[in-house]
């Protein structure tokens, strides 16, 4: 089935076509979202929301980009929404602790990516923690390119930025991470 046929079938509400799409992209979307959110439950939830939105808004998909780029764009936007909501909740929690007593503070706990080699776990967790402190755009660009291993061309399409802008975001992220990690390195000594 080519992409055009798949889009047609999705527009007709064809369930096997939707299932095929989910089975094909679920792990790629989940992996991207997990790297951004650094929380497996939120990543699963966001992956589900991404496919629900794909199903609901496939009729408004203008086909100006590849279907995969469109799906990734939705996933990244949803992950960003989650991060913003998380930050708002953290601020609220700071001022009104009784408001959300059972809220988990996932960002304060180190994130251990399930695919990292055991010997690298500690360093990777420190790196993920440092990434969280980056400004939004730098965080996304750095995660997609350096963590996810995406090429600049694809990342630019997803982030809807030109190559120079993305390159600049990645280098600024690297400088900021260097500062963060220097602080972490000093605490280890």
For another protein, the binding residues (CB under 8 A) are 19, 22-23, 26-28, 30-31, 34, 40, 43-44, 47-48, 51-52, 55, 113-117, 120, 123-124, 126-127, 130, 146-147, 167, 171, 174-175, 177-178, 181-182, 185
User: Smallest distance from the beta carbon of 64 to another protein, in angstroms?
Assistant: 26
Which residue lies nearer to another protein by CB, 102 or 183? 183
Shortest Cβ 77–another protein spacing (Å): 18
Runs of H (alpha helix) within the chain: 3-11, 15-37, 40-57, 67-95, 121-132, 136-142, 152-159, 163-188
Spatial neighbors of 83 by CB under 8 A, at least 6 apart, are 36, 37, 136, 139
Residue placing its CB nearer to another protein in the complex, 107 or 168: 168
Q: Which of 65, 60, 84, 83 has its CA nearest to residue 3?
A: 65
Contacts of 77 (CB under 8 A, 6+ apart): none
> 9 vs 47, which CB is nearer to another protein?
47
Length of the chain: 189
Cβ proximity to another protein: between 4 and 24 the closer is 24
């Amino acid at each position: 089935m080519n992409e055009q046929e798949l889009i047609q079938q999705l527009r007709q509400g064809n369930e096997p076509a939707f299932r095929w799409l989910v089975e094909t992209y679920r792990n790629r979307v989940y992996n991207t979202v997990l790297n951004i959110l650094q929380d497996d439950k939120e990543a699963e939830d966001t992956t589900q929301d991404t496919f629900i939105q794909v199903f609901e808004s496939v009729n408004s998909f203008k086909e100006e980009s590849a279907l995969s780029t469109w799906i990734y764009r939705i996933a990244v936007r949803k992950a960003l929404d989650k991060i913003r909501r998380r930050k708002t909740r953290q601020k609220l929690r700071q001022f009104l602790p009784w408001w959300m007593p059972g809220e988990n503070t996932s960002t304060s706990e180190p994130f251990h990516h399930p695919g990292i080699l055991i010997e690298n776990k500690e360093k990777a967790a420190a790196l993920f923690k440092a990434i969280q402190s980056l400004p939004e755009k730098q965080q996304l660009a750095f995660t997609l390119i350096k963590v996810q291993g995406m090429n600049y061309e694809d990342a630019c399409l997803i982030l809807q930025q030109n190559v120079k802008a993305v390159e600049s975001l990645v280098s600024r992220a690297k400088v900021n991470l260097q500062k963060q990690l220097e602080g972490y390195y000093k605490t280890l000594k």
